[in-house]
Structure 1
Amino acid sequence: MTAQISFEMQARDGLARTGVISTPRGEIRTPAFMPVGTAATVKAMMPESVRATGADILLGNTYHLMLRPGAERIDRLGGLHKFMNWDRPILTDSGGFQVMSLAGLRKLTEKGVTFKSHIDGSKHELTPERSMEIQKLLGSDIVMCFDECPALPATDKAVAESMRLSMRWAERSKEAFGDRPGHALFGIMQGGVTPELREESAEALKAIGFDGYAVGGLAVGEGQEAMFGVLDYAPGLLPEDKPRYLMGVGKPDDIVGAVKRGIDMMDCVLPSRSGRTGQVFTRCGVLNIKNARHQDDPRPLDEACTCPACRHYSRAYLHHVFRSQEIISSMLLTWHNLHYFQDIMAGMREAIAAGRFAEWEAGFHAGRAAGDIEPL
């Protein structure tokens, strides 16, 4: 067991990297995809099932957990790992993004943000110091700085002001985080789609010094082309020897494109949320289980997939339970999607280690371009 959190890069192929983040709660193989356990659960999944898909780490949401059931309560009950029965690493976000996207009537000042809960309208304040305190109460292994994330498109002036505020908050987050052996603090680069602002942000974060660095403020409506445009240079502005985390991404081709550009960690609600709405990710692209073409189809979702949904159930059955609004539908489709996302990560790790990333990527895109199997 390591007492500290460390990152070892084991191989690179072009800008793509593979390595291991070592934590007291276990190793995180990178590139890593983190399923999102918003309210201390990955919806429709048991923790052991999430682990069985290949996940090494989960993400928890500071904003949701502080409102319900409350960080102090989770602390009294033994911390988030014990509370949700997940004994491996957990990363918690800072709450900044959810305040932007969910909270009603938020008021932003130098000190922090006051907002009304989307659950019951109660008033709350989130500052860098309070965010660090909540994440400490939760007991997460990787803690994110408190930042402000403006929705794009926004003016250069607004993006610059927001980024500089986030950098001042990053400094306060680091101070409030203190010395916590076995726990890591990640800084978050902001700056929209403007290279000069991204560079200014990276320099400010490096001067403060963090255990890892996130590229924030993307996947907020700018589109894949603009996102890749930023990722063509942004990871290279961050330290080589620390993990790089792209927040809130994404679709399978977003993930592959990000790893190709030097990203080590990602998270997204997409596989679990899509599973609940009948959207299924496979090697042959995306299919919709509610479509009538599946109702008499005895074949699995994906012949090559080893998840329980594909091993034991037909498209016809999955179509039926989805249309009947049976809970098993969310369970099986979520499991399949998470399994597929982890398969992508394992495939990339293997390909980077073998120096075959370009070949693997070509095969990945060709498979998805081929489209779903022909209807019977």
Structure 2
Amino acid sequence: MLEFDVTFNFSEPINPATFTQSDISKTNCNLSNLIINGDEATVTATPGTDGTVSLWVTANKFKDLAGNWNTAIDPWSIIYDGTGSAVDFSTPEYPATNENPVSFTMTSTETNGINGLTQSDIDANGGTVINWDYSGGNSATFDLQTDGTNGSYSVSIDDGAFTDDAGNNSEAGNIDGELDYEAPHSVNGFECAVGELTNLGSFTMNIHFNENLADFTADNLNKNNCTVTNFQNNGGGNYSWTAHPGNDGFVAISMDAGVCHDFAGGNGNVAVPAWSTTFDGTATTGEMTSDLTSPTNTDIIHVNLNATEMINLTVDDIEVENEELVLFSGSGDSWPGKLNLTEMVKSKPLPLDFRTKPEISESLPIPPLLKATEPLPKL
């Protein structure tokens, strides 16, 4: 602990027996080793905490050699500073930034002035210190020029880089942060188990970005003929939601560039290409027609099935009575077929029944020729 001597000079010699250490008033210090020598007295003061140290003597505390009491002695004071300056670095873009150069302010806690601070006292990793500005006081500004690639930076200053006006060495200080110049993006785009055609009234979709986003919501999605619910941030750049198609037809979801941003620097996202499917939630209807009228004696009857949409139909999906289905072919939404009547009562109606099957797929290829193998019953 620092200590120093304080000397009192009197106008004449004093009676040393009348002046003791306790006669001295004080603030923020302890006193010791009082020595009186004629017309002066010296005492050692040990400061308490940083701040003002004061000593004074009130009237009628001691006498001169003739026995006269003293008059009051005005206070003596000094500012005690026994603490080195702490150093703080700050930047508006913390803890991550996409700025280049990155601006910094270095501030010392010393309010009484500092000495010896220069640009060379600043150590920088991840860039170079430029635009140094210090013109006195307790703060300096500078920029960190980076190479524009993602990574981390560190700015620091060592112990004793400068001193304060009281001669105390400065303390060490540092700041570490992240450099992020890359826009958030998704490598795989939108992901969904649904294919090009679906009859599902709702289905889950996902997207994975290379980093977390600060403001990604369902409102950032472009939605064509669908709505989105249950939007979830699953962490690690993973997001999911449920899509609900509207009307039968084309359904699509896409994402424009720059509609949401990352946490590290606020970079806007890269556009995400559209994902699409075709929604068909309406059951297929159809009609069977023939050029013939009932009754007929024609042993080959041509029958056509016209459906309301593209379908996949097989011979097992058609029921016939009193005849053999000998030719079955077609494509798209028109399916001509032939019925071979071998033996029957000519006037008997010829019902042909098309059975709707849930397992019918609307996308599988159609065999060009199928023939029934069961023998025909005789009437």
Which range, TM-score by smaller chain? under 0.3
Bigger share in strand: 2
Q: Which of these two proteins has the greater Rg computed from alpha carbons?
A: 2
TM normalised by structure 2 equals 0.19
Q: Which has the higher contact order (CA 8 A, sep 6+)?
A: 1
Bigger share in helix: 1
